[in-house]
């Protein structure tokens, strides 16, 4: 890794970082990372950074040297990484679902307060895009909570009488 030629993928961004003093010198980053891991005294497992590259991107995985190594075997490290990814995915899904449900509730509240309202008026009231409101409307229709009355040009959304 130390002998790989440095090539700026985005010269404009590299120049910007250099002008802001966020870049020491071109091509020194990977070497500095490797040196830091080699010099770190409590690294009994010999953990090293992993570098992955493709034509359009690169990825660096930096193992946590501060993690308690007493209970983690090399065989379990991959499982532990997958489990943490699962937890992150679950958290992200919960957050997305909560946000979507909040949007659906907000759309329904606007329709109840403003019978006959149109999509763009809903979007403006709740500060969401037309596409987001359209998805929320589809959910509400699916649940049988709203109906659309009138023509495409003059109609609007109404709460269903329950």
Under 8 Å between Cβ of 69 and 45: yes
* Structural domains of the chain, ranges and CATH numbers in brackets: 11-65 (no CATH), 75-159 (1.10.10.10)
Q: Pull the structure tokens for residue 114.
A: 């403003």
Measure the N-to-C terminal CA separation of the chain; round to a whole number of Å: 67
What stretches of 4-151 show up as alpha helix (H) in DSSP? 11-19, 29-39, 74-113, 119-126, 130-142
Give Cβ neighbours of residue 4 (< 8 Å, ≥ 6 apart): 30
Tens digit of each residue's pLDDT (9 = 90 or more) over 89-113: 676 777 666 777 889 999 999 999 9
Give the pLDDT of residue 149.
94
144: left (phi over 0), alpha (psi -120 to 50) or beta: left
**157 φ/ψ angles, rounded to the nearest 5 degrees:** -95, 140
Tens digit of each residue's pLDDT (9 = 90 or more) over 16-42: 877 887 766 666 677 777 777 777 666
Q: Pull the structure tokens for residue 135.
A: 């998805």
Q: pTM above 0.75? A: no
């Amino acid at each position: 890794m130390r002998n790989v030629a440095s090539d700026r993928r985005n010269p404009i961004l590299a120049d910007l970082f250099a002008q802001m003093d966020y870049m020491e010198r071109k091509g020194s980053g990977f070497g500095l990372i490797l040196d830091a891991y080699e010099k770190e005294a409590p690294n009994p497992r010999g953990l090293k950074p992993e570098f992955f590259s493709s034509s359009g991107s690169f990825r660096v995985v930096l193992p946590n040297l501060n993690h308690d190594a007493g209970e983690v075997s090399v065989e379990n490290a991959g499982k532990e990484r997958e489990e943490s990814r699962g937890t992150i995915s679950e958290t992200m899904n919960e957050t997305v679902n909560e946000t979507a449900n909040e949007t659906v509730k907000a759309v329904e509240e606007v329709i109840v307060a403003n019978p006959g309202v149109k999509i763009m008026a809903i979007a403006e009231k709740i500060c969401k895009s037309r596409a987001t409101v359209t998805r929320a409307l589809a959910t509400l229709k699916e649940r049988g909570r709203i109906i659309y009355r009138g023509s495409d040009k003059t109609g609007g959304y109404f709460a269903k009488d329950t």
